[in-house]
């Protein structure tokens, strides 16, 4: 189990951020939800750079929920850089997107995403998807330690 480590939500749409927060609350997920709005900020958060330099030495989030269509740096490039870094290469990353394009699905898996979830359209379906993601990734799944070292 991943204790109370945070979930990092990389999402630029404030309505989707609000929906995700409400869905997680309704699903009973108590982990802190950290939100960044673009790909550059996501990498700064994970690598403790720029405005997130104060996070140096802080644990990585238990899970990254990554949108693909982001300003400044898209989700595919964020995922590529996460997998290229020894500290974050095993960090669970779930693509949470509205894209139903097969090329996005294939590219996401080819760059090492752990799962690809299309955002459900209805609120109730979104809550159920959030509950299932939380149960699986935060309670059932075991991840290697940061960097893959024991």
Q: Does the pLDDT at position 144 exceed 80?
A: no
pTM value? Answer: 0.91
Q: At 81, list the tokens.
A: 């850089």
Q: What is the mean pLDDT of the chain?
A: 90
| Nearest-angstrom CA–CA distance, 26 and 82 | 30
What architecture (CATH level 2) is domain 7-140?
A: 3-Layer(aba) Sandwich (3.40)
Q: What is the mean pLDDT of residues 28-56?
A: 95
| Nearest-angstrom CA–CA distance, 125 and 105 | 20
Q: Which sequence spans correspond to the domains of the chain? A: 7-140
DSSP sequence for 35-92: EE-SHHHHHHHHTT-GGGGGGTTPPPPSEEEE-SS-SSS-HHHHHHHHHHSTTTTTS-
């Amino acid at each position: 189990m991943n204790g109370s480590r945070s979930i990092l939500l990389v999402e630029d749409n404030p309505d989707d951020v609000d929906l995700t927060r409400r869905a997680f609350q309704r699903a009973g997920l108590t982990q802190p939800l950290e939100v960044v709005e673009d790909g550059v900020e996501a990498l700064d958060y994970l690598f403790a750079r720029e405005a997130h330099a104060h996070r140096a030495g802080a644990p990585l989030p238990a899970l990254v929920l990554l949108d693909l269509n982001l300003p400044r740096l898209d989700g595919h490039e964020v995922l590529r850089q996460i997998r290229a870094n020894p500290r974050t290469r095993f960090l669970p990353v779930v693509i949470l997107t509205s894209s139903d394009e097969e090329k996005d699905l294939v590219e996401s898996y080819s760059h090492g995403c752990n799962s690809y979830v299309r955002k459900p359209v209805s609120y109730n379906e979104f809550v159920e998807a959030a509950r299932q993601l939380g149960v699986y990734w935060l309670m059932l799944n075991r991840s290697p330690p940061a960097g893959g070292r024991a």
